């Protein structure tokens, strides 16, 4: 292959990619209808595979702007694939199949979290995460001593530790070292 052909192909690819970027994301009415068709085809295929009821048509699938479960924006699927905010068709009661009033369009993230868990199982997971010191407000926790964003995996049961000042630590030794540092600072300040 000679250089002129190679350069021509590179120029075509570049212009095609630039065109895709300019047109991304498409306007909501444009992508909502296409996405609803994809969700309908996928639901029909899965209903046949899993031998569950299917009684939907295109008018039954309405894509909201925000995920009703997590409150994140629903975005069109990118040319490279899905993301957490991609619309996903959820069976509210999985055993009833894909029938009217048993499906909802939610984010892919929410659907994956829900998958086949019962409400009690989800509650147990949430309770366990709280007991491990996982923040419930969606913020990332960071060790006040070493700035690590994860509990120390070398511990038998990795979890977060908190001192009386409300600081978080990835290892009990870090908490102890910080408390000693604070004590020394108080003693120096008092003398």
**pLDDT tens sequence across 160-177:** 788 888 888 888 888 888
Residue 85 pLDDT exceeds 60: yes
132, 160 Cβ separation under 8 angstroms: yes
Share in percent of the chain as helix, strand, coil (round to 5) = 45, 10, 40
How much is the average pLDDT of 67-77? 83
Residue 133 pLDDT exceeds 90: no
69, 106 Cβ separation under 8 angstroms: yes
**Which of 64-78, 112-126, 146-160 shows the lowest mean pLDDT across its residues?**
146-160
Concatenate the DSSP letters of all residues of 5-38 into one string: HHHHHHHHHHHHHHHHHHT-SPPHHHHHHHHHHH
Answer yes or no: pTM beyond 0.85. Answer: no
How much is the average pLDDT of 45-71? 89
Domains (range + CATH), the chain: 12-114 (3.30.40.220), 136-190 (no CATH)
SS3 (DSSP) at 114: helix
For 12-51, write each residue's pLDDT tens digit.
Answer: 877 766 655 555 555 555 778 888 898 999 999 999 999 9
SS3 (DSSP) at 119: helix
Question: What number of other Cβ atoms are within 10 A of residue 83's Cβ?
Answer: 13
């Amino acid at each position: 292959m000679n250089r002129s052909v190679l350069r021509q192909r590179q120029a075509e690819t570049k212009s095609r990619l630039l065109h895709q970027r300019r047109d991304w994301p498409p306007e909501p009415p444009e992508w909502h209808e296409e996405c609803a068709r994809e969700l309908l085809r996928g639901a029909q295929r899965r209903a046949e595979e899993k031998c569950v009821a299917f009684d939907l048509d295109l008018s039954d699938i309405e894509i909201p702007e925000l995920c009703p479960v997590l409150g994140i924006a629903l975005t069109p699927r990118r040319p490279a694939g899905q993301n957490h905010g991609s619309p996903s068709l959820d069976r509210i009661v999985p055993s009833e199949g894909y029938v009217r009033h048993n499906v909802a369009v939610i984010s892919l993230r929410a659907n994956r979290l829900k998958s086949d868990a019962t409400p009690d199982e989800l509650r147990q997971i949430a309770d366990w995460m709280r007991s491990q010191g996982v923040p419930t407000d969606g913020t990332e926790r960071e060790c006040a001593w070493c700035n690590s964003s994860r509990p120390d995996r070398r511990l038998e049961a990795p979890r977060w530790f908190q001192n009386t000042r409300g600081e978080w630590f990835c290892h009990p030794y870090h908490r102890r070292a910080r408390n000693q540092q604070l004590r020394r600072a108080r003693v120096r300040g008092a003398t």
